[in-house]
Amino acid sequence: MYQALYRVWRPQKFEDIVGQNMISQTLKNAILSHKVSHAYLFTGPRGTGKTSAAKIFAKAINCPNQMNGEPCNVCDVCQSITQGTLGDVIEIDAASNNGVEEIRDIRDKSRYAPTQVQYKVYIIDEVHMLSTGAFNALLKTLEEPTQSVIFILATTEPHKIPATIISRAQRFDFKRITRQHIQERLTYILEQEQIEYDDRALQIIAKSANGGMRDALSLLDQAISYGDQGVRYEDALQVSGSISHEQMLSYVINIYEQNTSKALEDLHCVLRDGKEAGRFVEELLIFARDMLISQVVSPDGTLVDVLDSMPSISSEFIYAMIEELTLTQQALKVTTQKDIYLETFTLKMAKALDKKASNSADNALIQDLWQTVEQLKKQVEHLQKQENVQKVPIKDVPKRQNNKQFTPNLSKVFSVLAQATAKDKQLVQEEWHDIVSCLSVSQQGKLNSSVVLAASPHGIVLGFEYDVLCQMTATDTSLQQDLSQHGERLIKHPCRIECVPLSQWQTIRDKFVQSKKMGTLEQYLHPTLVEELEPQTARSSEHLEPLEEAITEIKEEIPEIISKATELFGDVVEVEE
Ligand SMILES: [Zn+2]
């Protein structure tokens, strides 16, 4: 009869337990020094060796041939404990025996001394499943410890155990087993079983097992029975539902290089293979983490044990990807249209790069122009000194004019203020961060220093620390559309915004309060009147992007300097492109 690998290869000695050396050593020391506690709590994720350790412990303290804290595994005592037939070592699964009656029964029986061995051992697995009444009964038992009775409580969820129980037990936290340790163990087992294997297949299984040896072994079992010739890479991918390294790499690189249609093709290919969307996002997150870690030093190589070569992708991009993936992961939990979210994620990431690239192109252009201006200025000064000409002083290159103030649309701002309520403001304020975080990276940049100043059921007055950002936001219609869309979706509140520089807020508010008192508010709320009354505050129709403005200004300055220079020195001045 075929026996599952995890049963056959269940650790029978402390030294067989993978990845929990500290715990094994401490338990062996306790046995060797006869300092055994009457209650232990073993916590940790599934498949990390908790119940195996409990059984080995039960054997080691009762085995007449115990050596260095390890059981012999050949005597009657060891063998009957391994088979679960020794009456004094009792295993209880709290998931199926969570009643008070069962625990009371234990309490009564635990009073009696063991009959066959030195110590009676109760192993209660999944102890967090006990009912409150059962916990109380257990607590009573632990409060009146009986000589030669030991309780080992195991759980994956220690936070569900009452503190009164925890405080009466010696606690051991079992760690997730590293991929490397799992892979080593799988290799060892396959060598012993004389089964052929592909290293990459074991890597895939070790990764999918998520730190649990039992899952790793059952995946290995499946991979063995799936393929007819040992453990192949393709079988491992199939049984674990993993996406291949190549597929993942191709997808991420296509996004990074903005081959959007190819990235979408990769995505559809993965989904066509029947991979689950949530699983895909999870694996992408692990992949992103590995990419980040491969960029920093990892001295022992344990953290990136699965990845041999990683592409050079900017860490900024990876961080943005992780952030976006986390949002997508949340969205996937509440939607049935999972594929659409993944497509949106793909497009969003590629687009974010696009915007960043164009932003930095603009910045580069400005920098270039400024450099040229500075160079020319120096050239002129240099020539001036050389020729010792002081008759015609060259005036300084004019400073960029930054005093152009943004003028808010008073009529619209006032109409929001006229209907503003504290309740609306609070609602918008509380959700503002979430709404903004739905926007693209460059859109978020514009709103970074913004604050919600007031809100009515129909609109929001937004304050900006910097006039430039205020103007950029006020003229960005797609940003405004996206905002109102997300606002509608998230808080059922139209996020129609009116932008105000914070430096002008006080004045605007005073003006509003005053005109309300004077009864002249109507004039402001009527847009046609406003232009006549307040020609300066009405919004001018043309709003040049500040960026373009700056470039134009600099462009204008250059010929001025050149002409000044040529005027002075004739053809001596050479203009470098
Ligand atoms: Zn033995």
- Quote the DSSP letter at residue 195: -
* Residue 122 alpha carbon to ligand 1 centre in Å: 19
Q: Give Cα separations from 302 to 21, 288, 312, 398 (angstroms).
A: 17, 16, 20, 59
Q: Taking 70 as the threshold, does the pLDDT of residue 202 lie above it?
A: yes
Would you state the pLDDT for residue 251?
92
Nearest to 133 by CA among 167, 100, 166: 100
Nearest to 254 by CA among 268, 240, 242: 268
Q: Taking 50 as the threshold, does the pLDDT of residue 531 lie above it?
A: no
Identity of the residue numbered 47: G
Angle at alpha carbon of residue 462, lines to 457 and 468, rounded to 5°: 155
Pairing type for strands 451-455 and 460-464 reads antiparallel
The C-alpha atoms of residue 55 and residue 84 are separated, in whole angstroms, by 9
Neighbours of 36 (CB within 10 A): 15
Most confident range (mean pLDDT) of 34-43, 206-215, 330-339, 530-539 is 34-43
* Residue 540 alpha carbon to ligand 1 centre in Å: 92
Lowest average pLDDT, out of 46-50, 293-297, 425-429, goes to 293-297
Would you state the pLDDT for residue 86?
94
Q: Mean of the pLDDT values across residues 123-152?
A: 90
Number of H helices, E strands in the chain: 25, 8
The C-alpha atoms of residue 363 and residue 551 are separated, in whole angstroms, by 10
Would you state the pLDDT for residue 239?
85
Would you state the pLDDT for residue 247?
84
Would you state the pLDDT for residue 388?
56
Classify burial at 453, counting beta carbons within 10 Å of its beta carbon; exposed 0-12, middle 13-18, buried 19 or more. Answer: buried
Would you state the pLDDT for residue 305?
42
Would you state the pLDDT for residue 161?
92
pLDDT greater at residue 2 or residue 116? 116
Would you state the pLDDT for residue 355?
61
Would you state the pLDDT for residue 558?
58
* Residue 60 alpha carbon to ligand 1 centre in Å: 7
Is residue 577 classed as helix, strand or coil in its secondary structure? coil
Would you state the pLDDT for residue 356?
60
- Quote the DSSP letter at residue 145: P
Identity of the residue numbered 284: L
What residues pack around ion ligand 1 (CB closer than 5 A)? 63, 65, 71-72, 75, 78
The C-alpha atoms of residue 98 and residue 281 are separated, in whole angstroms, by 37
* Residue 182 alpha carbon to ligand 1 centre in Å: 28
Q: Mean of the pLDDT values across residues 428-435?
A: 84
Task: Quote the distance between the C-alpha of residue 444 and its chain's center.
Answer: 19
* Residue 106 alpha carbon to ligand 1 centre in Å: 26
The C-alpha atoms of residue 548 and residue 358 are separated, in whole angstroms, by 13
* Residue 80 alpha carbon to ligand 1 centre in Å: 10
CB 97 within 8 A of CB 126: no
Q: Mean of the pLDDT values across residues 157-173?
A: 93
The C-alpha atoms of residue 500 and residue 474 are separated, in whole angstroms, by 9
Write 483-487 long-range contacts (CB < 8 A, 24+).
483/435, 483/439, 486/435, 486/438, 486/439, 487/428, 487/435
* Residue 22 alpha carbon to ligand 1 centre in Å: 23
Neighbours of 553 (CB within 10 A): 15
Identity of the residue numbered 449: S
Identity of the residue numbered 103: I
Would you state the pLDDT for residue 240?
84
What confidence category does residue 567 fall into, taking pLDDT thresholds of 50, 70 and 90? Answer: low
* Beta-carbon contacts of residue 521 (< 8 Å; ≥ 6 apart): 414, 418, 512, 515
Identity of the residue numbered 506: Q
Would you state the pLDDT for residue 403?
47
Largest CA distance in the chain: 117
* Residue 218 alpha carbon to ligand 1 centre in Å: 28
Q: Taking 60 as the threshold, does the pLDDT of residue 192 lie above it?
A: yes
* Residue 117 alpha carbon to ligand 1 centre in Å: 11
Neighbours of 536 (CB within 10 A): 7
Lowest average pLDDT, out of 92-106, 318-332, 384-398, goes to 384-398
Q: Mean of the pLDDT values across residues 56-85?
A: 96
Token reading at 386: 């050389």
What confidence category does residue 15 fall into, taking pLDDT thresholds of 50, 70 and 90? Answer: very high
Please report where in the chains the tokens 């992408």 appear, as a residue.
284
* Residue 90 alpha carbon to ligand 1 centre in Å: 17
pLDDT greater at residue 290 or residue 44? 44
Q: Provide the b/e sequence for 390-402 (b: ≥16 CB within 10 Å).
A: eeeebeebeeeee
Would you state the pLDDT for residue 433?
80
* Residue 53 alpha carbon to ligand 1 centre in Å: 15
* Residue 78 alpha carbon to ligand 1 centre in Å: 4
Q: Kindly give the interhelix angle for 467-475 and 477-491, rounded to the nearest 10 degrees.
A: 80
* Residue 74 alpha carbon to ligand 1 centre in Å: 5
> Which residues in 168-266 belong to E strands, given as ranges?
170-173
Token reading at 99: 């009643």
- Quote the DSSP letter at residue 175: P
Neighbours of 54 (CB within 10 A): 24
- Quote the DSSP letter at residue 70: B
Runs of H (alpha helix) within 448-526: 467-475, 477-491, 502-518, 521-525
> Which residues in 19-75 belong to E strands, given as ranges?
39-43
Mean pLDDT of the chain: 81
Strand order in the sheet with 460-464: 451-455, 460-464, 497-501
* Residue 14 alpha carbon to ligand 1 centre in Å: 13
* Residue 125 alpha carbon to ligand 1 centre in Å: 23
The C-alpha atoms of residue 449 and residue 433 are separated, in whole angstroms, by 11
Bridge partners of 90, per DSSP, are 122
Q: What is the pTM of this model?
A: 0.53
Identity of the residue numbered 127: V
Bridge partners of 59, per DSSP, are none
* Residue 552 alpha carbon to ligand 1 centre in Å: 89
* Residue 116 alpha carbon to ligand 1 centre in Å: 13
* Residue 97 alpha carbon to ligand 1 centre in Å: 30
DSSP output for 215-232: HHHHHHHHHHHHSSSSB-
pLDDT greater at residue 488 or residue 181? 181
Angle at alpha carbon of residue 248, lines to 303 and 216, rounded to 5°: 55
What confidence category does residue 467 fall into, taking pLDDT thresholds of 50, 70 and 90? Answer: confident
What confidence category does residue 366 fall into, taking pLDDT thresholds of 50, 70 and 90? Answer: low
Q: Give Cα separations from 576 to 114, 361, 373, 557 (angstroms).
A: 98, 21, 11, 15
Please report where in the chains the tokens 């005036």 appear, as a residue.
395
Nearest to 447 by CA among 420, 419, 487: 487
Is residue 183 classed as helix, strand or coil in its secondary structure? helix
- Quote the DSSP letter at residue 125: E
